[in-house]
Structure formats: C-alpha cells, structure tokens
C-alpha cells in the first residue's frame, strides 16, 4: 500500500459523483470547524472502517467529508479495496485526498462530520515528522465543533517486524495512535467485526 506523499490536498469526487451527484470538497469552503470525536482502531479486516463510517454517518448524515490517505497507483489490490470503500459510502459524501493535515481543517468547514481513513497510511509517508504535525493538528482541533473521526491500525498486538524500517514505523504509528487516543472523546477497538469502546 502507498500513502499520499504530496503536501497539498487533491480534491476528488468519488465514482458516485457522476452517478448520483456527490459533492466534492473545496479548500475555500466556509463553515464549521473540527473536533476529534472518536478514534477507531483495529487490525486488517477488523471492521474499523465500516464502524467509522456508521459513526460519522450518525452525526453527519449526507454531509460527511471522507479524507483519504491512500492513492491508487498501480496496486490492483489497493484499487479493489478503495472501490469497495467507495461503494459502501453514502452518495452525498465528499472525498478529499490529502498529505497535509492542515488541508483537512481548511476543507472541513462546510461539512457536518469528517472521517479520516487512515492515519496508518498518512504516517507511513512521514514516519518521525508525522508526530509533530499530528500534535499540531490535534491542538488546533481541540476546541472546534464539527465531529471528526480517525481510523488507524492497532500495531501493538502483532509480531515484531523483522526490518529496522518496519520497527520504526510500528513505533511511530503506535505513538501517533496514543496522541490521537488522548485527544479523542471516544476510542473504539474492532476485532473480527465486533467493536468495543475502550474510552
């Protein structure tokens, strides 16, 4: 899987826009702001994205901004996963591809909820520099009002990665998850499609 590497946001309509008129986010939108409502953690195929989508929809309805941190590239498996996620989402949701979290705060202003999926891929493009940027984002989001949902992989339950790069990534993502959990009102852990609220 590959993460978004550019610093400026790229606003993309998902496939449903042509079918049913999904709105695309614009960086010059005016409106509300962002607060971290929930962090949803889990492993691969744990159901974390589906849970995050339900939570975001329960508060934002058709006015949810989906923030994507993965790009298609030439990875057929990743493309298939992206398409499954798109088909599952409501037709009214906007889609924003980002590299810089500041872009999320700017684009979120006219949406009723924001869902970022996932911190895992976003961190993979940055490693150590991800932590200061995430901390700045969380500090700015703390007193804002639009519910914000973060999805991330729980990396502390698996085997120790063999490579130094893998261990470094695991450690940085683990710290990023801790920062996000501290800031979030709720934290949910998903296992085998079952979620448990742990905060």
- Global pTM value: 0.79
Does the pLDDT at position 65 exceed 60?
yes
Tally helices (H) and strands (E) across the chain.
Answer: 7, 8
Which alpha helices (DSSP H) does the chain contain, by range? 16-20, 48-60, 76-88, 101-107, 119-124, 130-141, 164-183
Does the pLDDT at position 120 exceed 70?
yes
From CA 124, how far away is CA 156, in angstroms rounded? 16
Most confident of 13-27, 77-91, 100-114: 100-114
User: Which residues, 6 or more positions from 140, have their beta carbon under 8 angstroms from its beta carbon?
Assistant: 105
User: For 115-127, what is the mean pLDDT?
Assistant: 91
- Phi/psi of residue 15, nearest 5 degrees: -60, -30
> 6 pLDDT band (50/70/90 cuts)?
very low
85 counts as catalytic: yes
Does the pLDDT at position 123 exceed 70?
yes
pLDDT computed for residue 71 by the predictor: 61
Q: Which of 37, 63, 85, 188 is catalytic?
A: 85
Buried b (16+ CB within 10 A) or exposed e, 98-109: bbbbebbbbbbb
CATH number of 10-197: 3.40.50.300
Does the pLDDT at position 157 exceed 50?
yes
Token readout for 197 is 């609220």
CB half-sphere exposure, 107, CA atoms < 13 A: 31
20-37 per-position pLDDT tens digit: 444 445 444 443 434 899
Helix, coil or strand: residue 116: strand
Query: What is the CA 146 to chain-centroid distance, rounded?
Result: 15
């Amino acid at each position: 899987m590959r993460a978004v590497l550019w610093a400026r946001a790229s606003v993309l309509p998902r496939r449903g826009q042509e079918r049913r008129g999904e709105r695309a986010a614009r960086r010059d939108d005016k409106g509300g702001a962002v607060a971290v409502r929930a962090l949803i953690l889990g492993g691969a195929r744990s159901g974390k994205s589906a849970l995050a989508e339900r939570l975001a929809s329960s508060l934002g309805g058709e006015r949810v901004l989906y923030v994507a941190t993965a790009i298609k590239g030439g990875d057929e498996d990743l493309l298939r996963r992206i398409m499954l996620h798109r088909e599952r989402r409501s037709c009214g949701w906007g889609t924003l591809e980002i590299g810089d979290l500041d872009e999320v705060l700017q684009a979120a202003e006219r949406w009723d909820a924001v869902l970022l999926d996932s911190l895992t891929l976003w961190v993979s493009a940055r490693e150590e520099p991800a932590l200061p940027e995430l901390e700045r984002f969380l500090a700015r989001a703390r007193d804002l009002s639009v519910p914000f949902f973060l999805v991330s992989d729980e990396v502390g339950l698996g085997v120790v990665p063999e490579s130094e790069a893998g261990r470094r990534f695991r450690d940085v993502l683990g710290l990023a998850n801790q920062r996000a959990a501290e800031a979030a009102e709720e934290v949910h852990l998903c296992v085998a499609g079952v979620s448990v609220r742990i905060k």
